[in-house]
Amino acid sequence: MNEIIQIVLFIAALIALTPILGRFMAKVFMNERHLLKLVLGWLERLIYRLCGIDSSEETNWKVYLSGLFVFNFIGFLVVFLLQMLQAYLPLNPEHLPNAAWHLSFNTAVSFMTNTNWQSYAGETTFGYLVQMLGLTVQNFVSAATGIAVLVALMRGLTRKTTENLGNFWVDLTRSVVYVLLPLAIIFSVILVGQGVVQTFSPYTHVTTLQKTQQVIPLGPAASQIAIKQLGTNGGGFFNANSAHPFENPTPFSNFLEMLTILLIPAALTFTYGRFAGSNRQGWTVFIVMFILFAAGLGLSLYSEYGHNAVLHVAGNMEGKETRFGVANSVLWSVATTDASNGSVNAMHDSLSPLSGMVAIFNLMLGEVIFGGVGAGLYGMVVFIILTVFIAGLMVGRTPEYLGKKVEAFEVKMAILAILVPSLVIKLFSAWACTSSYGLAGLNNAGPHGLSEILYAFSSAAGNNGSAFAGLSANTVFYNITLGLGMLIGRFGVIIPVMAIAGNMASKKITPVSSGTFRTDNWLFVLLLIGVILIVGGLTFFPALALGPIMEHFLMNSGITF
Amino acid sequence: MTTRHKQASLFSKKIFVQAFKDSFVKMNPALLVKNPVIFIVAIGAVMTTIIVFGDIFTKHFSSFNLQISVWLWFTVLFANFSEAIAEGRGKAQAESLRKSRTQTKARRLINGKEEEVLAPDLKKGDTVVCESGNVIPADGEVIEGIASVDESAITGESAPVIRESGGDRSAVTGGTKVISDRIVIRITSEQGNTFLDRMIALVEGAKRQKTPNEIALTILLSGLTIIFLLVVVTLPTFFGYSLTASGMPQSQNLTLPVLIALLVCLIPTTIGGLLSAIGISGMDRLLQKNVIATSGKAIEAAGDVDVLLLDKTGTITLGNRMATDFVPAEGVSKEELANAAQLSSLADETPEGRSVVVLAKELFNMRGKEIHPSDTVFIPFTAQTRMSGVDIKESGGNVRSIRKGATESIKKYIQNNDGFFPKKVEEIVSDLARQGATPLVVAENNRVLGVIHLKDIVKGGIKHRFAQLRQMGIRTVMVTGDNPLTAAAIAAEAGVDDFLAEAKPEDKLYRIRQEQANGHLVGMIGDGTNDAPALAQADVGLAMNTGTQAAREAGNMVDLDSNPTKLIEVVETGKQLLMTRGALTTFSIANDVAKYFAIIPAIATSLYATAHAAGPMSALNIMKLATPQSAILSAVIFNALIIIALIPLALKGVKYRPISANRVLALNILIYGFGGLVVPFIGIKLIDMLLVVLHII
C-alpha cells in the first residue's frame, strides 16, 4: 500500500509540475517576458557580450547545426585533455594519475553526448577538477544542447515559409541561464540539506570497529548530482551512483532525484504544445509517453514482485538498497531508462529478466519515453512523423503534421534517425558476441550475458549511460566501440532532426479542416504507441527473445548459469 | 446520356494472359531494381536456388530449401503480376482510344493545296482540312469554319457538338469525326505528345515516373527493408552466442535459406509488391470516369485539394433559368398573366421561354392550340429592344401586343404606349431580385400584367454533395458573374461555403493565389481561353474537353465528358488512391507481428533444450504450428499468397466513404491495422494445417 501511495504521489507531482515548468520554458524560448529575466538578464547579456553573440540574429538549420558541432567538439576536447593531464592539474587531493587515452576518449564523448556512460569508478579515477570543470560543465551544456535542438525543431514545425530556426548560441545560453542553472542551484541546496556531501576536503580515513582502515570518499557531489538528474545525464559522482548514501541518503532525496529525472523532459511536452499553439498537441505527446512509461512500470513491478522460481521469493531484493525497497528501485529503473538519464539506485544487472527487458527495450526505442532533455521529444517527433506518414495516408490526403506536409525528405530523415542508432546496437552487439575481446568482458554466462552486451550498446546508442553492471567495459574494445556508439547515436539523430526542422520551416501551413488527420486525440495516441512498439519491437524482438525472454523462461524452469 | 467506357473486367482473359507473360518479362533485373523490396526478394530467390543446386550436387537435397526457393520466386512473380495486370487494364482502356487514330489519313494544306498524308506524319503547326465524314487526325484548333463533330469515340456522348473557329469552342480532339460542314484545323500537338499519348505513357511501366508520394513511400519501405536486413544479418551472431551458452555446436546455426525466409517475411513485400499496381489503377479509375490526367502527381494533388472553385452555371445550377412563378399586378388574375406570358413565349426557343410555357401548362393546363399562325406575328428578342413577344390579331380587329422583357425595357415600352408602370410591380421586381431571381415583366398593350419569376435552378442533390465535401474538409467556392445579392441567394440555396460574385476571369486567378498563400490546395474547372491562367495556377486544373486548346494545355486534367461536377469525382479518386496506399502499408507492417510469432519460436526452439522437453522458446509458439519447418514455410507461403489475394483491392481501391477524416481513419485502422494483426495468425495456422495434411513437411 505504502508503495502504491509513493508511486501515485510521484505521478501526481510529475503531472502537476509539467504545465508549470513547461509554460515557463515556452516563455524563455519564445523570448517573452518572465520573472527570471529580471533577475538573471544581466548574466545572459554578459555572456553575449563576452562571446560576441548578436542575439537578434537568426540562422538556417545548417548554420545552427555547425554552431552545435563546434561547441560540442570544444567541449569534448576540454574534457579529454583534463583527464589526460589531471595529474599535473590542481584540485586533485588524492593525486589520482592521468587516465588512459581510450578511457579519456570514452568519457569525453560520454559526457559531451549527454550519455554519461561511465567505464570508470568516479572516486578512484577522477579528481575534483575533472569532475567539476569537465564533467559537471558538460552535464549542463550537453543538456542545453539537447534543448536547443528541440527548440529549433519546434520552431521549424510551427513557423511558415522561412529558413530561420533561431540562434544556437542564444538558445544554448537561455537554457543554461534560465532553466538548468536555477533549477540545479535550488536542487543542490535541498540535497545538501538531506545530507549529500559537498566539500573540497580530501577523502576521510577512518578506523572501523573491526580495527580495519577504511577510506571514505568525499567531494563536491551535491552540485553534480543535481544537474546529473535534471539534465538526464546520470553520471554518478561515486561509482555506486545514487545507490551510494552520500549521493542519495534519504527517501525524500530519492523521491526528488526520481522526480527530477523526468521533470524537464515531461515539461518540454507542454512547451511543445505552447509552440504548436495548442496545449492538446503537447498533452497528446505527454500521454503517449506516460502510457508507455506506465506499461513498462507495470510489467517491471509484476516481474519483481512475482514469484521468483530460482530464489523462491516474491519481491526480489537482490541488488537493491534496503532503504529504498522494491517499488522505489523499480520506479527508478524504469524512469532512468525511459529518460536517457542512466543514474541508478539499484543494480540493473540484478533485475529479474522481464524488468531487465523493459529497461533494455526502453533504451532500444531510442529514449523517446520522456527521454533525454530535448532529445527525448525530438526523438518522439521522429516517430510522430513516421506515424503520420503511414497512417495519415489512410484519410486520403498527403500526410501532414501541424499543417506541414510530410514528404519524401522528412520520411528519409525520420527513417535515418531510427535506422542509425539501431545499426549501432545491432552491429556492435554482433561484433561483441563473436569476438574474444567482446566476450571477455562478460561476468555472466547464458542468455544474461547476451542481455549485458545488448544493454551496453543500447545504452550507448540511446545516450542513456546506465549499465547492466555485469559487463567489464573499461577495455580498449568497449571504450572505443561504446564511444563511437554514443557519438553515432547522438549525432545520427540530431543531424536528421535538424534537417527535418530546416525543411519543415520552409513549408506552408495547411489550415485545419475536417479533412485533416488529427494528431491530438486518442486515436492518434493509440496509433503512435502502436508504431513505436511495432517498429521498435520488430527491430529488436529476435535479440530480446534470445536474451531476457529466454532467460525468463529458463528461470521459470529453474535453470540458471 | 453519357455512356462510360466499358470497364475492362478485372480478369478478362486477354489481359490475364498478357499479364501472366509480362510477369516473367518483368523478372529483368533492370526493371526489378526499381522496386527495392521486391528486388531483395529476387536476390533471396536466386541465392536459395543456388543453394538448392549445391545441395543436389553434394547429395544433401533438402525439400525444405527447394520449397522456400520456389515460394520466393512465386513472391516475385505475384508482385510482377499485380503490376502487369494493372498495366494491362490501363492499356486496354487507352488502346481502344488510340486505335481510332493510328490509321487515320489527313488532308494537309500546304500553300492552299491539299495533299494526303498519314496522321502520324503530321507536325505541330500543320493545317489540315476536315469535311463531313473525315476523322480529325490529331488534337488541334479550328482556324476556319464551323462544323458539327461526333466526339462519341472519346466521350461516349452520342449527340454531336459544334466546333467553330475563334471563341471557346475551337478545340478538337484527334480521333473524333466531323459529321457536317468543313473546317480547317491547325494541329497543336506534336505526335506522341497528345493527351492520349501522355495518358498511355503514364500507364506503361517503362516511362512511368514515380509520384512524390510514391517516392516517399518507397523511401519508407526501403528504410524498413534495411532495418530488417540488419535484424537478419546480426541474428546468427546472437544465435551463435546462444548455441555456445546452451552447449550446442556452431554447426547448428541458422542456415541461409531460413535467414532469407525470415528476411522476406519481415520486409514489407505486400505493399512493396502492390505499390505500382495501386498507382496505375488510380489512373485507370480516372480514365473510367472519362478524365485524362497528364501526370500521376495531379491525381495525388486531387486528394489533397481542400478548396474547390466551381462555376455557378452548369455545375451548381442547371445551365438556364426557369420560370417558377407568375406574380400578377394589381387587378390582374394569375391566370390572365399566365396566359399572356405563355402566348408571348410560344415562339421563344430559349430555355427560359420554354420554361414559361411549361409552367403555364403545369399551373393552368394551358396549351397554345387556339392560336392560328396567320393571325400571329412573333416578335423575336433583339439586343436593341431587349424584349420578345407576340402580336395577335383578334376577330374584332384588335391587336393584342404582348411583350415580356427586362424591367427597364418594358417600362420604356409602356411609356411609349401612354401607359404607366405601377409602383406595386416595381416593388415585386425589386423583391424578386433580392431573392436572387430574375424578374421578367409581362405587358399587354399599355397595361402591365405582372412579373414572371425566373429562377436559377440548383441541381438536384448538389446540396447533399457539398455537405459531404464539407465533411471531408473541402470548402466550395461558387464563381459567378451575378451581382452579390443574387449570388448570395443561390449560394445559400446550394449550400456552398463561399462565393465570388461579379467575377471576372482575373478574379479567379487572384482568388486561387490568395487561397494558396493561406496554405490551401485549390481545384478548379475551366473551359474558356481566359480560364487558362487560373487553370495553370490551380493545383488541380480540370479542363473541359469542349474548351479551348489553351485551357486544355493549361490544366493538368481533361474531362472528356465536359461535365463540371466531375471535379468532385476526381477529388474522390485522388483520395481513394492515397487511402489504398496507406491501408496496404499499415496492413503489411502489422502482418509482421504474426510472422515473428511463427518464425522466432521455430528457429530458437532447440536452444537450451533439456533432454526431455523442447527448448523454452516453444512457449512463444502460440499458433501451435506443427514443426519448425512447417512454421517457416507457412509464413513464406502466406507472405506470397497475400499479394495475390490483395490484387483486387489494389486495383479497385479501398472503399471510399464521404465522411470526416477522423471517422475514415478509425474505420481503416480497424480494418487494415487490426485486420493486419489478426489475419496472418489465421492464415499461417491454416496453411500449416494444410501442409501437415498434405504431408508436404
Q: Is B245 in contact with A446 (Cβ distance < 8 A)?
A: yes
Q: Which of B37, B209, B213, B539 to mutate to probe the A interface, most A CBs <10 Å?
A: B213
Tell me the pLDDT band of B7, cut-offs 50, 70 and 90. Answer: very low
What residues in B contact A395, CB-CB < 8 Å?
A: 575, 579, 582, 661-662, 664-665, 668
pLDDT for residue B429: 86
Of B242, B596, B664, the CB nearest to A394: B664
Task: Please say if the pLDDT value at position A220 is more than 80.
Answer: yes
Integer Cα distance of A18 and A305 in angstroms: 30
Task: Please say if the pLDDT value at position A312 is more than 60.
Answer: yes
CA-closest candidate to residue A152, choices A523, A547, A544, A498: A498
CA-closest candidate to residue A516, choices A398, A382, A383, A390: A398
What residues in B contact A431, CB-CB < 8 Å?
A: 237
Integer Cα distance of B473 and A538 in angstroms: 35
Integer Cα distance of B37 and A408 in angstroms: 17
Q: Is A538 in contact with B575 (Cβ distance < 8 A)?
A: no
Distance from CA of A354 to the nearest CA of B (A): 15
Task: Please say if the pLDDT value at position B614 is more than 80.
Answer: no
pLDDT for residue B98: 63
Whole-model pTM? 0.86
In chain A, which residue's Cα lies nearest the Cα of B224?
A415
Q: Phi and psi at residue A306, in whole multiples of 5°?
A: -70, 170
- Mean pLDDT across the stretch A268-288? 96
Mean pLDDT of chain B: 84
Tell me the pLDDT band of B647, cut-offs 50, 70 and 90. Answer: very high
Tell me the pLDDT band of A538, cut-offs 50, 70 and 90. Answer: confident
Q: Is B662 in contact with A434 (Cβ distance < 8 A)?
A: no
What residues in B contact A445, CB-CB < 8 Å?
A: 245
- Mean pLDDT across the stretch B273-284? 89
Partnered with residue B117 across adjacent β-strands are B106
Q: Write out pLDDT tens, residues B596-612.
A: 999 999 988 888 877 66
What residues in B contact A440, CB-CB < 8 Å?
A: none
What residues in A contact B474, CB-CB < 8 Å?
A: 513, 515
- Mean pLDDT across the stretch A159-174? 94
- Mean pLDDT across the stretch B72-97? 86
Distance from CA of B561 to the nearest CA of A (A): 25
In this structure, the dihedral spanned by the alpha carbons of residues A337, A343, A348 and A354, taken in order and rounded to 10 degrees, is: -20
HSE, CB side, 13 Å, CA atoms: give it for residue A362: 36
Task: Please say if the pLDDT value at position A47 is more than 70.
Answer: yes
Strands (E), B545-678: 557-559
Q: Phi and psi at residue A135, in whole multiples of 5°?
A: -75, -50
CA-closest candidate to residue B450, choices B437, B440, B465: B440
Looking up cell 524504469 gives A334
Q: Is B245 in contact with A397 (Cβ distance < 8 A)?
A: no
Per-residue exposure over A32-54, b if at least 16 CB sit within 10 Å of its own CB, e if not:
eebebbeebeeebeebbeeeebe
Residues B621, B605 contacting (CB under 8 angstroms): yes
Q: Which of B242, B266, B607 to mutate to probe the A interface, most A CBs <10 Å?
A: B242
Distance from CA of B29 to the nearest CA of A (A): 25
Q: Is B590 in contact with A534 (Cβ distance < 8 A)?
A: yes
- Mean pLDDT across the stretch B310-331? 81
Amino acid (one-letter) located at A249: P
Of B104-108, B269-273, B489-493, where does the model show the most confidence?
B269-273
Task: Please say if the pLDDT value at position A333 is more than 80.
Answer: yes
Task: Please say if the pLDDT value at position B4 is more than 50.
Answer: no
Integer Cα distance of B282 and B420 in angstroms: 65
Per-residue exposure over A513-550, b if at least 16 CB sit within 10 Å of its own CB, e if not:
bbbbbbbbeebbbbbbbbbbebbbbbbbbbbbbbbbbb
Q: Which of A393, A407, A410, A524 to mutate to probe the B interface, most B CBs <10 Å?
A: A393
Distance from CA of B237 to the nearest CA of A (A): 5
DSSP string spanning B524-583? EEE-SGGGHHHHHHSSEEEEETTS-HHHHHHSSEEETT--TTHHHHHHHHHHHHHHHHHH
Q: How far is CA A129 from CA A132, B37, B666, in A?
A: 5, 54, 58
Q: How far is CA B66 from CA A315, A538, B32, in A?
A: 51, 27, 23
HSE, CB side, 13 Å, CA atoms: give it for residue B146: 7
CA-closest candidate to residue A349, choices A323, A379, A319: A319
- Mean pLDDT across the stretch B296-322? 83
Q: Is B227 in contact with A539 (Cβ distance < 8 A)?
A: yes
Task: Please say if the pLDDT value at position B90 is more than 60.
Answer: yes
Q: Is A446 in contact with B224 (Cβ distance < 8 A)?
A: no
Q: Write out pLDDT tens, residues A420-472.
A: 999 999 999 999 999 888 888 787 778 898 999 999 999 999 998 888 867 77
Residues A510, B520 contacting (CB under 8 angstroms): yes
CA B290 to chain centre: 8
Q: Is B600 in contact with A509 (Cβ distance < 8 A)?
A: no
Q: Phi and psi at residue B470, in whole multiples of 5°?
A: -60, -40
What residues in B contact A514, CB-CB < 8 Å?
A: 470-473, 660-662
Integer Cα distance of B214 and B598 in angstroms: 31
What residues in B contact A535, CB-CB < 8 Å?
A: 227
Percent of chain A residues past pLDDT 70, beyond the cut: 100
DSSP string spanning A461-513? HTT-----TTS---SHHHHHHHHHHHHHHHHHHHHHHHHHHHHHHTS--PPP-
Helix (H, G, I), strand (E, B) or coil at B602: helix
Of B520, B582, B672, the CB nearest to A511: B520
Partnered with residue B130 across adjacent β-strands are B183
- Mean pLDDT across the stretch B351-358? 83
Of A416, A423, A446, the CB nearest to B230: A423
Q: Which of A31-40, B130-139, B641-650 has the lowest mean pLDDT?
A: B130-139
Residues A244, A236 contacting (CB under 8 angstroms): yes
* Residue B129, H or E segment: strand B127-131
Give the burial class of A212: count Cβ atoms within 10 A of its Cβ; 0-12 exposed, 13-18 middle, 19 or more buried: exposed
- Mean pLDDT across the stretch B510-533? 85
Tell me the pLDDT band of B93, cut-offs 50, 70 and 90. Answer: confident
In chain A, which residue's Cα lies nearest the Cα of B579?
A394
Q: Write out pLDDT tens, residues B204-247.
A: 655 667 888 999 999 999 999 999 999 999 999 999 999 988 88
CA B224 to chain centre: 31
DSSP assignment, residue B251?
G
In chain A, which residue's Cα lies nearest the Cα of B658?
A515
Q: Is B213 in contact with A511 (Cβ distance < 8 A)?
A: no
In chain A, which residue's Cα lies nearest the Cα of B219?
A412
Distance from CA of A388 to the nearest CA of B (A): 10
pLDDT for residue A192: 93
Q: Write out pLDDT tens, residues A478-530.
A: 999 999 999 999 999 999 999 999 999 999 998 888 888 899 999 999 999 99
Q: Which of A397, A400, A521 to mutate to probe the B interface, most B CBs <10 Å?
A: A397
Q: Is B473 in contact with A515 (Cβ distance < 8 A)?
A: yes
Q: Is B672 in contact with A394 (Cβ distance < 8 A)?
A: yes
Task: Please say if the pLDDT value at position A353 is more than 50.
Answer: yes
In chain A, which residue's Cα lies nearest the Cα of B610?
A559
Task: Please say if the pLDDT value at position B613 is more than 80.
Answer: no
Tell me the pLDDT band of B455, cut-offs 50, 70 and 90. Answer: confident
C-alpha cell at position B635:
509464413
Task: Please say if the pLDDT value at position B2 is more than 60.
Answer: no
- Mean pLDDT across the stretch A258-273? 96
DSSP assignment, residue B502?
T
What residues in A contact B584, CB-CB < 8 Å?
A: none
Percent of chain B residues past pLDDT 90, beyond the cut: 28
Tell me the pLDDT band of A361, cut-offs 50, 70 and 90. Answer: very high
- Mean pLDDT across the stretch B1-15? 54
Q: Where are the domains of chain A?
A: 279-556
CB pairs under 8 A between A and B: 228
Integer Cα distance of A537 and A360 in angstroms: 12
Integer Cα distance of A135 and A274 in angstroms: 33
Of B239, B245, B578, the CB nearest to A397: B578
User: Looking at the annotation, which residues of B are catalytic?
Assistant: 311
HSE, CB side, 13 Å, CA atoms: give it for residue A547: 31
Helix (H, G, I), strand (E, B) or coil at B359: helix
Integer Cα distance of B367 and B339 in angstroms: 9
